[in-house]
Structure 1
Amino acid sequence: MRILLAEDELALSKAYAQVLIMQGYEVEQVYDGKEALEAANSDTYDLMIFDVMMPKMSGLEVLKALREAGNTTYVIMLTAMSELDDKVEGLELGADEYLTKPIPLKELAARVRSLERRIDTNYNENVLTFGSVKLNVSQQELSAKNSIILAGKETKLMEVLMLNKNKKLSTEYIYNHVWSKDDDSDTGYVWIYISYLKQKLKAINANVDILGEENREFELVEV
């Protein structure tokens, strides 16, 4: 799981990052709100952790901007303030968890593990839409002017792309979110299945396409 950590206190950022890395997570650290917003808009994460009080932009301002732009990535807010109003504002803006400093490192790790389980449980939304395209995940049906039934891996791949529409996803990111460690496969399968989906999008007369080249980044866009 990829985590964006935005915390301006260097010692705390280092401590939080170390405990999360020890749990096997990939962590990118930024140190102000502007950096956090730029990173969230330019890259893809499974979870974002924002301190409320940061230079340039507060964590609440970053969260508000992301939610207004349609970014639904799970967010944990960190704050040294215990006032109820601040927590209510963060939750109303779309935060998924709200932790008050000082935060025991074991508790932070436990909250992230709990959130990861929720992400895994809730990842499959029943119906996703983008442009003229609709993906019924449970029925594995992709439709626009026409419809077609997808194979299992095609459905998971299309789901990842639609949940991250207009974002560039690396081959490695896609592989890690579609193929399990037990699969007898490698990252070369990503391009193969991207090619399958591109053909099927054309077959249903969709107004979206998957841009990108083999072993590089891919992006689902309207055309």
Structure 2
Amino acid sequence: MRILIVEDEVKITQALKFLFTKQKIDVDIANDGEEGMILANKEIYDVIVLDIMLPEVSGLEILKSIRKAGNKTPVIMLTAKDTVDDRVYGLETGADDYLIKPFATKELIARVKALARRKDTEYIGEIYNFEGVKYDVKNYLLYIDDEEFKLPLKEAMLMEMFIKKPRQVFTREQIIDRIWGLEADILESNIEIYVHHLRKRLESTKAKIETIRGVGYMLKEK
């Protein structure tokens, strides 16, 4: 799982990154609204944790922007505002959950994990199922026709990205950002190698990875 935390209090973001990393959850941080807007619109995250009161651009503006663009990534709003009207407005704007400061970190982690499970594919425990292809995201195990395949790390991350959001096009930039990191200098041929391996594995199934010319890839039914 990979999440984005947009929060201007550096001490809070550092503490949260440490705690989420211990849970084997990758975290990207933005400490102002402008950077948060850029990262949130990349659509490479499973959950976005978004503070409302931010310098440059407010959390609500970021939320409105990504929802207007069709980005359905689950969002948890963090705020010191605790009136019912504030919470209702945040939820009506497109937030999926709302947590008031100060909050218990255990509760935030639990809510992030719960939101990450709200996907388009069938989800049972740690296993996603799309067109008969089952994938255990925790153990990197792919199940095809009752056969079990242990995937290498990068291939596993790519499979997770596809099966959590089938029929969604992922650009090459999104894939590089998600798997190798925002600052990585990776050739597109690296992506093609892992896509090729996954395609070979899916040959006998009802699912396929389609190339969207000039854009990227998506997992869909044959």
**Do the aligned residues in 1 keep the contact of 2:7 with 2:30 (CA within 8 Å)?**
yes
Unaligned residue ranges in structure 2 (runs of 5+): 123-129, 134-143, 150-158, 180-191, 203-209
* Alignment RMSD: 3.8
Matched with 2:97 is 97
Aligned-residue offset at 1:11: 1.0
How far apart are residue 161 of structure 1 and its match?
6.6
Deviation at 1:164, TM superposition (A): 3.9
Which residue among 190, 201, 204 is the counterpart of 2:195?
190
- Asked if structure 2 preserves the Cα contact closer than 8 Å seen for 1:44 and 1:167, the reply is no
Identity of aligned residues (%): 38
In the TM superposition, residue 87 of structure 1 has moved relative to its aligned partner by 1.0
| 1:80/1:101 contact within 8 Å kept | yes
User: Is the CA contact (8 Å cut-off) linking 2:121 and 2:164 kept in structure 1?
Assistant: no
- Check conservation: 1:167, 1:219, Cα contact below 8 A: yes
Map 1:128-139 → 2, pairs under 5 A:
138=131
Matched residue SS, 2:114: helix
Task: State how 1:69-80 maps to structure 2 within 5 Å.
Answer: 69-80=69-80
SS of 1:170's equivalent in the other structure is: helix
Report 1:103-182 matches (<5 A): 103-116=103-116, 118-119=117-118, 122-124=119-121, 138=131, 162-165=166-169, 167-168=171-172, 169-170=174-175
TM-score (normalizing by structure 2): 0.63
Q: Give the drift of 1:159.
A: 5.3
- Aligned residue in 1 for 2:3: 3
The size of the alignment, in residue pairs, is 174
CA distance in 1, matches of 2:47, 2:60: 16
**8 A contact 1:47–1:75 mirrored in 2:** yes
Q: Give CA-to-partner distance per residue, 1:95-121, whole Å, 9 cap, x none.
A: 1110000011122122223323x33xx
The one-letter amino acid paired with 1:91 is: L
- 1:19-72 per-residue CA deviation (whole Å, 9 max, x = no partner) reads 111111000000111111101223511111100100111111101100010000
